[in-house]
Amino acid sequence: MIRDDLKKALIEALKAKDETKVATIRLINAAIKDKDIEARPKGNLDGIDDTAVLNLLMSMVKQRNESINMYQQGGREDLAQKEKKEIEIIQQFLPQQMSEAEIICAIDEIMAQTGASSIKDMGKVMGALKGKYAGKMDFAVASTLIKSKLS
C-alpha cells in the first residue's frame, strides 16, 4: 500500500535528515489527507484508495512540471531545480510509466473491447484506460493518441 511506503520513507528521511525528502513526503501526505476529508461526505470513511492516491501523485508531478516551465521562463533556475527534486521524490512512489508503444497497444486493446469507432467514443476509451492503467500511463499522451486514432 502506498500509504505504508510513504510512512516508511518519511521515517527514513527523518533519520537521514534529508529535508527536501521530508518536506515533499509531508506535502504528499497533506494532499492525501485533503482528499480523504473530501471523500468522507460521500460515505468513504476509510479515505481514498491506492488508485486515487496514484492519480493524486501523477497530478502533483504534472503541477511541478508546469512550475518548472514557468520558473525557467522567468529565469529562476534555482526554483526549477527544487521542483525537479520534488518530482524525483514523488516518482519513487509511482509505478514504472508506460512507453508510448505500450500506450498505443493499450489503446488498441480498449478500443477493440469497447467498440470505439468515432471521436464520440473517446470518453469511453479514456474512462476504461483510467480504470485499468491509473498511475502507469500519461493520460495527456493517451488523449492525443486516441484523438488521432478516432479522427
Residue with cell 488521432: 148
Amino acid at 82: K
Long-range contacts, stretch 128-132, CB < 8 angstroms, 24+ apart: 130/55, 132/106
Please say whether the structural domain 2-91 has been given the CATH code 3.20.20.70.
no
Would you say 64 and 80 are in contact if contact means Cβ atoms under 8 Å apart? no
Q: Write down the CATH number for the domain with range 100-150.
A: 1.10.10.410
Please give the model's pTM, rounded to 2 decimal places: 0.77
- Round to whole Å and give the CA distance between 26 and 29: 5
Question: At a CB cut-off of 8 Å and minimum separation 6, what does 30 contact?
Answer: none
Task: Kindly list the domain boundaries of the chain, sorted by start residue.
Answer: 2-91, 100-150
Residue 134 DSSP class: T
**Mean pLDDT of each 10-residue bin along the chain, 151 residues long:** 93 96 97 93 85 89 95 95 96 89 91 87 88 82 89 82
